[in-house]
Structure 1
Amino acid sequence: MSGTDTIVAADVVVTSPGRNFVTLKITTAEGLVGWGDATLNGRELAVASYLRDHVAPLLVGRDPARIEDTWQYLYRGAYWRRGPVTMTSVGAVDLALWDIKGKATGQPVYQLLGGAVRDRILAYTHASGWDVPRLLDAVDARREHGFLAVRAQSGVPGLGTVYGVSEAAAGHERPDRHGTGPDEEIWDTDAYLRHAPEMLAAVREHAGPGLKLLHDTHHRLTPGEAARLGRALEPVNLFWLEDVTPAENQEVLRHVRRHTTVPLAIGEVFNTVWECQTLITEQLIDFVRTCVTHAGGISHLRRIAALAEIWQVRLGPHGPSDISPVALGASLHVGLSTPNFAIQEYMGYEPVVHEVFRHAWSYEDGHLHPGDEPGLGIEVDEALAARFPYEPGYLPVARRRDGSVTDW
């Protein structure tokens, strides 16, 4: 990059090869192209509009090499800050500019971040089954594919669907592909609290002590209920217990932490370092789960990592199939170069997604690596992407048995 290069175009690509993805393409006068993920599950078009209508016009004419200045310009230069739509948009720009920087210098992004501090990145995947026998079969299947860490979820007796798991089949947590609004599920906390310890104990007994076992509560417990569950799960030796309670009021985690030693992971819905600050500095969690896209890109995720490192909190970023291979690649570049990066979520993608988003990152034997191609190592087949138009989709809404809405 000569230093005189400028951004000449910023285009938004919306495609739906199995599920919706929003991608930002930044092009420079010297012909370099950078890609950024702007997918916000269930609210994709809001980010697409924010980028297309408000951010893209501000980028044309800017120096693509000034990554930090552009981040500050988009974040601090706007009166309305933070929030998932804004930060996902900023994150997409940041990823694309790091991609350009790597391509301009001929280096993979992790080298520009200080180089590798590990040889590969531990990955965890999802296993689910409506009942315990089917869950155990799913865990076995994931281990046969090489995974050393598995998040286990099952149905709950008396409920029809739970966390994307249905009696008919175990599926991913993905939007239902229709435009008529979200499906509504019935939730029963007492039934879950009776079932979860027995279910996870069965997985531990079946899999043995070597498997890194994770579980997600999806924000549905009060602090007292979360503390009870954490204490009940201590004999299971979880790698982490995720999202035990909504964390908007971060002080409530003090109650959970006082009553259980189970490792806690929170933060996939966080968008800035300030949302993580109390949880990190008071060591109320063990893992912070902020996503490289939704938390403002590589530049801002590194700030979160730096704060967390001081307080011995590790990173385990959000990364199921509701972020595109662009964001997963970016997260892996951060992971390879960040000392306190612990684990990366990886559910995999349908084959066509790999065709639309050609990538250098790879999975092998329970681990991921970003690859050594310049930049993020991602190229998008725009012609193929155009064959998959956007389809409206919604994640389900949960209601208690009395009809009142509860947290998802």
Structure 2
Amino acid sequence: MRITEARVIVTCPGRNFVTLKIVTDEGVTGVGDATLNGRELAVAAYLTEHVVPVLIGRDPARIEDTWQYLYQGAYWRRGPVTMSAIAAVDTALWDIKGKIAGLPVYQLLGGRSRAGVTVYAHAQAVSIESVLSEISSCVDLGYQAVRVQTGIPGLESTYGVSGQAFYEPASAALPAENVWSTAHYLDHVPRVFAAVRAEFGPTLRLLHDVHHRLTPIEAARLGRSLEPYHLTWMEDPVPAELQEGFRLIRQHTTTPIAVGEVFNSIWDCQELITGQLIDYIRTSVVHAGGITHLRRIFDLAALYHVRSGSHGATDLSPVCMAAALHVDLAIPNFGLQEYMRHTPETDEVFPHSYHFEDGYLHPGEEPGLGVDIDEELAGRYPYRPAALPVNRLQDGTVHSW
């Protein structure tokens, strides 16, 4: 069997997605997600110009060799564009292998380690009162874990909060500018979680995304102030370029730490994992080089009592979500899976067999990933430029968004 074609499909059924579809000479196809939020066309060009030409004629069964060829064979390694492109190829090849074997991909990864994949919902609202209502709706749907984000008094907007049912920060063609105050934030967040625990008791799993906005000592202060509310994790407390900063946070708080959705390789998180400076690693299939490389990261994490918590927002297509679920189901050190529901238009473009039931996602039993792309329907939703915001402090200084 040989690869005869690889198509790069860009579509926007509510937001932009990049999908790679690989076709073999025996008619077996596989799909992979290559979406990089706000930089979609960069990955599409990388695939079209540098990856697709070298795939033609290759044996689709040689997944590891193809991964190494695309990684080691490129002088300019790593980075989000390169690794998202490699991920699309890798995921599509796993899809093909599963279809040839007549098995869902999780069976090729060693079979089930659990009955279903525990996922967490997003509850976001401008006020504490409103977010309590959102959390209640999530609980009613069966979620056992909820990420909680609210507006910050004194700020016009903040990450994770919008007036829309589907939160999507990438909107205008040019970046919007938000204003940030760490002092307002640190004062408000503990009051949010005090209210949530008072309303929902001690057993609901609660999470919060800081979104890289604090210094290590500020994150330590936040973590300590949240200890009475027993969060499952405090996500992305600081920018991860200075990984030693996580050691300072660790010295001051027992609130668990999750990080990694912007990581692209095992080398980005090696020190954090081996130093036991984090509790959950949030790397995803599409941004960390596909199923092959993500499994390496999770295997390393397992040695150091670090669990998975993969990114799963709507900036990843149902192709990535399907792939993530197969990995989640198989690995021994699974923690949680983020799950934001896609728009009905997106679900129509990407028909899939995974489904939500009683707080769990199930990948289904179809051979391969159990997901595809309706190319004709995808063609009805052309690409629309959309940029992520830029953040500034109240004095105008550019700050991590």
- Global fold match (TM > 0.5): yes
Deviations 1:293-336 (A, max 9, x none): 10000000000011000001000000011100000000000010
Q: Secondary structure at the match of 2:372?
A: strand
**Residue 388 (structure 1) aligned with residue 381 (structure 2):** yes
Q: Tell me the TM-score normalized by structure 2.
A: 0.99
| Structure 2 equivalent of residue 145 of structure 1 | 141
Question: Which one of 374, 399, 403 corresponds to residue 396 of structure 2?
Answer: 403
- Give the conservation status (yes or no) of the 8 Å contact 1:129–1:170: no
Question: Which one of 46, 51, 54 corresponds to residue 50 of structure 1?
Answer: 46
Q: Tell me the TM-score normalized by structure 1.
A: 0.97
| Structure 1 equivalent of residue 24 of structure 2 | 28
| Structure 2 equivalent of residue 61 of structure 1 | 57
Q: 1:169 to 1:97 in 2, by over 3 A?
A: closer
Question: Which one of 122, 127, 133 corresponds to residue 131 of structure 1?
Answer: 127
CA distance in structure 1 between the aligned counterparts of 2:167 and 2:345, rounded to whole angstroms:
16
Equivalent pairs: percent with the same residue?
Answer: 60
**Residue 88 (structure 1) aligned with residue 88 (structure 2):** no
**Residue 283 (structure 1) aligned with residue 279 (structure 2):** no
Q: Secondary structure at the match of 1:161?
A: coil
CA distance in structure 2 between the aligned counterparts of 1:47 and 1:209, rounded to whole angstroms:
43
**Residue 239 (structure 1) aligned with residue 232 (structure 2):** yes
Deviations 1:321-363 (A, max 9, x none): 1100000000000010000011110010111111110101111
Question: Which one of 177, 202, 205 corresponds to residue 195 of structure 2?
Answer: 202
- Letter of the structure 2 residue corresponding to residue 212 of structure 1: R
- Give the conservation status (yes or no) of the 8 Å contact 1:130–1:169: no
Question: Which one of 270, 273, 285 corresponds to residue 263 of structure 2?
Answer: 270
| Structure 2 equivalent of residue 225 of structure 1 | 218
CA distance in structure 2 between the aligned counterparts of 1:54 and 1:92, rounded to whole angstroms:
13
| Structure 1 equivalent of residue 254 of structure 2 | 261
Deviations 1:88-109 (A, max 9, x none): 0000000000000001110100
CA distance in structure 2 between the aligned counterparts of 1:44 and 1:404, rounded to whole angstroms:
28
Q: Secondary structure at the match of 1:358?
A: coil
| Structure 1 equivalent of residue 15 of structure 2 | 19
| Structure 1 equivalent of residue 101 of structure 2 | 105
- Give the conservation status (yes or no) of the 8 Å contact 1:164–1:170: no
CA distance in structure 2 between the aligned counterparts of 1:204 and 1:219, rounded to whole angstroms:
25
CA distance in structure 1 between the aligned counterparts of 2:99 and 2:24, rounded to whole angstroms:
12
- Give the conservation status (yes or no) of the 8 Å contact 2:319–2:350: yes
Question: Which one of 149, 152, 170 corresponds to residue 175 of structure 1?
Answer: 170
CA distance in structure 2 between the aligned counterparts of 1:56 and 1:205, rounded to whole angstroms:
55
- Give the conservation status (yes or no) of the 8 Å contact 2:120–2:146: yes
CA distance in structure 2 between the aligned counterparts of 1:174 and 1:106, rounded to whole angstroms:
39
| Structure 2 equivalent of residue 345 of structure 1 | 338
In the TM superposition, residue 170 of structure 1 has moved relative to its aligned partner by: 6.5
- Work out the number of aligned pairs and report it: 401
Q: Secondary structure at the match of 2:122?
A: strand
5+ residue gaps, structure 1, are none
- Give the conservation status (yes or no) of the 8 Å contact 2:284–2:310: yes
**Residue 8 (structure 1) aligned with residue 4 (structure 2):** yes
| Structure 2 equivalent of residue 293 of structure 1 | 286
Q: Secondary structure at the match of 1:335?
A: helix
In the TM superposition, residue 53 of structure 1 has moved relative to its aligned partner by: 0.8
Q: Secondary structure at the match of 1:227?
A: helix
In the TM superposition, residue 369 of structure 1 has moved relative to its aligned partner by: 1.0
CA distance in structure 2 between the aligned counterparts of 1:292 and 1:151, rounded to whole angstroms:
21
Deviations 1:176-218 (A, max 9, x none): 1x32x11100000000000011111111111111210000000
Deviations 1:97-151 (A, max 9, x none): 0000001110100000011111101000100110100010111111111111000
In the TM superposition, residue 42 of structure 1 has moved relative to its aligned partner by: 0.6
Q: Report the aligned-residue RMSD.
A: 0.9
CA distance in structure 1 between the aligned counterparts of 2:7 and 2:322, rounded to whole angstroms:
20
In the TM superposition, residue 51 of structure 1 has moved relative to its aligned partner by: 0.4
**Residue 372 (structure 1) aligned with residue 390 (structure 2):** no
